[in-house]
Amino acid sequence: MADQQSTKPARGTRDFLPEDIRRRDYVIGIVRSVYQRYGFEPLETPAFENIETLMGKYGEEGNQLVFKILRRGEHEKSGEADLALRYDLTVPLARVVAEYQGKLPTIFKRYQIQPVWRADRPARGRFREFYQCDIDATGSTSPVVEVEVLSAVCEILERLGFSDFKIRLNHRRLLTALLTQATIAPNHHADALIALDKLDKVGPEGVRQELESRGIPDPGRNAFVNWIGAGYSPDFLDRLEDHFTLLDDQGRAAFANLRSILTLSTASVRQRVRFDVSLARGLSYYTGAIMEIAVEGIGSLGGGGRYDNLVGMFLGRDVPACGFSLGLERIIVVMTERNMFPATIAQGAVDVVVAFLDDESRGEAMKMAAELRQQQLRVDVFPDASRKFEKPLKYASARGAKAMAIFGENERARGEASIRNLTTREQQSVPRSEAAARIGQLVNAE
Amino acid sequence: MADQQSTKPARGTRDFLPEDIRRRDYVIGIVRSVYQRYGFEPLETPAFENIETLMGKYGEEGNQLVFKILRRGEHEKSGEADLALRYDLTVPLARVVAEYQGKLPTIFKRYQIQPVWRADRPARGRFREFYQCDIDATGSTSPVVEVEVLSAVCEILERLGFSDFKIRLNHRRLLTALLTQATIAPNHHADALIALDKLDKVGPEGVRQELESRGIPDPGRNAFVNWIGAGYSPDFLDRLEDHFTLLDDQGRAAFANLRSILTLSTASVRQRVRFDVSLARGLSYYTGAIMEIAVEGIGSLGGGGRYDNLVGMFLGRDVPACGFSLGLERIIVVMTERNMFPATIAQGAVDVVVAFLDDESRGEAMKMAAELRQQQLRVDVFPDASRKFEKPLKYASARGAKAMAIFGENERARGEASIRNLTTREQQSVPRSEAAARIGQLVNAE
């Protein structure tokens, strides 16, 4: 035992023990069933991609957060990377849409629930390995897609028990119109959006400083910050358009697009929508409507939007696309804090534990287990003989079993089995031939 | 579109399209349900581990096949790796058992179904990213554990429809006894097992050459190859023990252990067991019984065994353990080739497609979709207006829908919906208020 080693998972990652998995499976089950009811099909892509596939898709900051895999064999010494871990589920989707064009439906609607990896500084609720639950539809520019995506996401959150969430909605081309109106030059637009994306963290004054440090001059800087500081009101969309004196066709189309999304949404979705001119979304690939789910006091549970040019980077011609990514980890953290999980997910891992008092009774115990499993019960055999059965009893209770079957010399001699009800602590001997049925009744009676 | 890029997944990895996922989910569903009925609970660990956690656990060859992750930020230039992708599910389990000792049941039975990564040369049915479906029980040296593990694996394969598989069974300490009997010196034992592990690929003569090239002298070399060439017969275990003139306590215990495993197994498992003195299993951490599932003409579908010292490398004191790993990819390849998947998994991805002929009908179409989804139907809205509905019709058929609802100017004027049965191609107009119920009947009638 010379080289005893650290037993912690790597920094920013977690082990999921059985109770954690039950919580995750509960949420993923609801996510999957709603996505399916909205006509989305499952897709999975490899954990790593060729490094060129990921580089240049997420902006400068994203590039630095990608985990890169060292070349192997004789090339290992070069210190070069040729592969990289998936950073999101959207770029792999774009690659898939380009690769399997002929094989996929004209409108490809997929969901994907897989981990992604980012070398971010770990913090409370922020991990280096975390699951995203994405839906995307490619092949249409219709606002019906945005509305379907938003509806699905709202239904998931409602089914999980969230009632107080809002949908922040904005449009990348409206942000362009806003920057134009504020007389910020086009070559500063990307920088301005990066600054705006930090609004939640640094506030309006922080954004102003960030704009300044990125060399964006006044009066544009000031005008822009004033615009994004405007509060929400139901008629804000109309009032804003009226104020835009420099609006071009694309800007007008952006306003019309947002109005279509609102009109087509059901009343229950529409009442959650907050048109929010300060929403930027970090990723550089968005081209149209952008959206984010926000919970008061919690922040974002996910976001998405339209990205009509990303598939084109792989295919050579554009395929329109729009999607949304739900953040599983944040949802689980909030649901745990708020006690939103149903009691049923805490149920025991097994129904019955079979124990034996001497090695000669092992065979009988294993036969019992086989009979009980044929009744579809979840059955565990305590593997070691123990004369007094305190150990298996303690173990059965730790595993949440409802019943225990016990075999020893006496039981074998009499052709019986001892059955213990772990709820009432009653124990009785029954004929061996009736034992399986009796235990089945006991378990199912609960 | 200057920089159009490769759209292939990285070498040795695959994208799983919806039809692939349905096959995988079918198999995983059965694996999971059987594992649960045998009392195993789910565990998941991170995709990467600290590199020290993995190094030195898989032997010399394994070390070379581990994917290593480059250090980040200012350290990236060093070309050093500090993390590595999971190579199997057993070493992470050993780390988990050491880390959460106080929190886990005395006997910890977990299943884990996750991908692992090995930088092997890709070949037919061999990938660099592949799923393993593992069960392991820690905390007991009882042969009951081996028998439970084997029973679960057999039940899974039977439920999947495999009838012609065998269980190859051997014991690491019996191999040690065999090497001793063949007068091979202890310092050559590890090398001899590496040579033996290649028997399936290179045959007995190849093993002999490998032994020679590793400096193992005759007559031991020759005696060893003669032993492993012995064929199977039901009483081989007894005959073998009789021949061992140099058997020590550990060797005798190995024979007794194998007999216990056979005795405790149900008849249906026992008849599949082939005691096979030529089975070595590649991984270096095994210490007791080793086993492998083999299908005639196909090779191995998985394997496992007892490893009583691995947890000790993390914990500082030994915790006995035994487990089995089913290879999902090979199982799916064989089941696909042999047409073993039920027809139901090829069913359509949606039940109903809702289409509209003009943009003014979009809202009505979306309302219809919402009503149908409340009936738990899987519903897709074709997002673009199309005057003649050939496009949505073709799309609905590609998605496997049974019914289509169509809205246009006429339907809206008359307060109706057009419903098309995609199986019979009958189409009729019904009052709008009855449309959802009628479609529900149509879909469920199938």
A272: helix, strand or coil: coil
Q: Is B433 on the interface with A (CB under 8 A)?
A: no
- Joined tokens for residue A138: 């490619």
Asked if residue A56 has pLDDT above 90, the reply is no
- pLDDT of amino acid A148: 97
In chain A, residues 245-274 whose CB comes closer than 8 Å to chain B: 263-264, 266
**Cα angle, residue B265 at apex, residues A443 and B196 outer, rounded to 5°:** 135
Helix, strand, or coil here: B5?
coil
pLDDT tier, A2 (very low <50, low <70, confident <90, very high otherwise): very low
Q: What is the mean pLDDT of residues A350-375?
A: 96
CA–CA separation, B4 and B96 (whole Å): 44
* CB pair distance less than 8 Å for A41 and B48: no
Chain A residues close to B104, C-beta within 8 Å: 17
Mean of the per-residue pLDDT values of chain B: 92
Lowest average pLDDT, out of A11-25, A99-113, B223-237, goes to B223-237
**B232 confidence band (pLDDT: 50, 70, 90):** low
Q: Which tens digits make up the pLDDT trace of A414-433?
A: 999 999 999 999 999 999 99
Q: Do B399 and A6 touch (CB under 8 A)?
A: no
Q: Which of B95, B362, B377 comes nearest A144 by C-beta? A: B362
- Specify the pairing of strand B129-138 against strand A273-275: unpaired
pLDDT band at B1 (very low <50, low <70, confident <90, very high): very low
**What pLDDT sits at residue B283?**
76
Read off the pLDDT of residues B250-305 as tens digits, 9 standing for 90 and up: 999 999 999 999 999 999 999 999 998 899 987 778 999 999 999 988 889 999 99
Closest by CA position to B244, among listed B174, B157, B339 = B174
Which residues of chain B are within 8 Å of residue A376 when distances are taken between CB atoms? 37
Q: What is the pLDDT of residue A232?
A: 65
Write out chain B residues lying below 8 Å of A270, CB-based: none
Q: What is the DSSP string of A392-419?
A: HHHHHHHTT-SEEEEE-HHHHHHTEEEE
Judged by CB atoms closer than 8 Å, whether chains meet at B79 and A70 is answered as yes
Residue A1: band (very low, low, confident or very high) from pLDDT cuts 50, 70, 90: very low
- For the segment B36-40, the average pLDDT, to the nearest whole number, is 97
What is the mean pLDDT of the segment spanning B15-28?
Answer: 96
Contact B22 A14 (CB under 8 A): no
Residue B143 burial (10 A CB sphere; 0-12, 13-18, 19+):
buried
Calculate the alpha carbon distances from B364 to A36, A435, B46, B378, B438 in Å: 21, 60, 46, 18, 17
Determine whether the interchain pair B70/A81 forms a contact, defined as Cβ–Cβ distance below 8 Å: yes
Query: Looking at residue A76, what DSSP letter applies?
Result: G
First-to-last CA distance in chain B? 47
Q: Which of A89, A380, A407 to mutate to test the interface with B (most CBs of B within 10 A)?
A: A380
pLDDT band at A389 (very low <50, low <70, confident <90, very high): confident
Contact residues on chain A for B80, CB-CB shorter than 8 A: 79
Interhelix angle A362-374/B143-160, rounded to 10 degrees, is 30
pLDDT tens sequence across B311-321? 999 999 999 99
- The reply to whether B69 touches chain A by the CB within 8 Å rule is yes
- Chain A residues in contact with B148 by the CB 8 A cut-off are 366, 369, 381, 383
Instruction: Return the pLDDT at A229.
Output: 77
Q: What is the pLDDT of residue A23?
A: 96
Nearest to B173 by CA among B181, B164, B165: B181
pLDDT of A288 higher than 60: yes
Per-residue pLDDT of A205-257, as tens digits, reads 999 999 999 999 988 899 899 888 776 666 778 878 888 888 889 999 999 99
Chains A, B: CB pairs < 8 Å: 306
Instruction: Tell me the average pLDDT across A160-185.
Output: 93
Q: Which of B323, B279, B4, B314 is nearest to B140 (CA)?
A: B323
- B270 contacts on A by Cβ (under 8 Å): none
**A424 CB within 8 Å of a chain B CB:** no
**Which residues of chain B are within 8 Å of residue A404 when distances are taken between CB atoms?**
none
Check CB contact of A388 with chain B, cutoff 8 Å. Answer: no
Q: Does the beta-carbon distance from A47 to B129 stay under 8 Å? A: yes
DSSP per position, A89-128: SHHHHHHHHHHTTTTS-SSEEEEEEEEEE--PPPBTTB-S
Q: What is the reported pLDDT for A4?
A: 61
ipTM for this model = 0.93
Place of tokens 């579109």: B1
Residue A39 to residue B350, Cβ atoms within 8 A: yes
Q: Which two tokens stand for residue A121?
A: 């500084």
> What confidence score (pLDDT) does residue A227 get?
85
* Percent of chain A residues topping a pLDDT of 90: 76
Distance from CA of A63 to the nearest CA of B (A): 11
CB-based contacts of A386, cutoff 8 Å, min separation 6: A355, A357, A392
With contacts defined as CB-CB under 8 Å, which chain A residues touch B383? 107, 137, 140, 142, 144-145, 148
Q: What is the Cα–Cα distance from B385 to A311, expressed in whole angstroms?
A: 23
Compute the CA torsion angle B200, B202, B205, B206 (nearest 10 deg).
Answer: -130
- Closest to A392 measured CA to CA, from A429, A337, A353, A362: A353
Give contacts of B 335-354 with A, CB under 8 A. Answer: 349-350, 353
**Who among B98, B117, B362 is closest to A264 (CB)?**
B362
Residue A82, phi then psi, degrees to nearest 5 = -120, -10
What pLDDT was estimated at residue B126?
A: 83
- Contact of A147 with chain B, judged by CB distance below 8 Å, is answered with yes
Chain-chain contact of A140 with B383 (C-beta, under 8 angstroms)? yes
pLDDT at A45 over 80: yes
Could you tell me how far CA B304 lies from the centroid of its own chain?
13
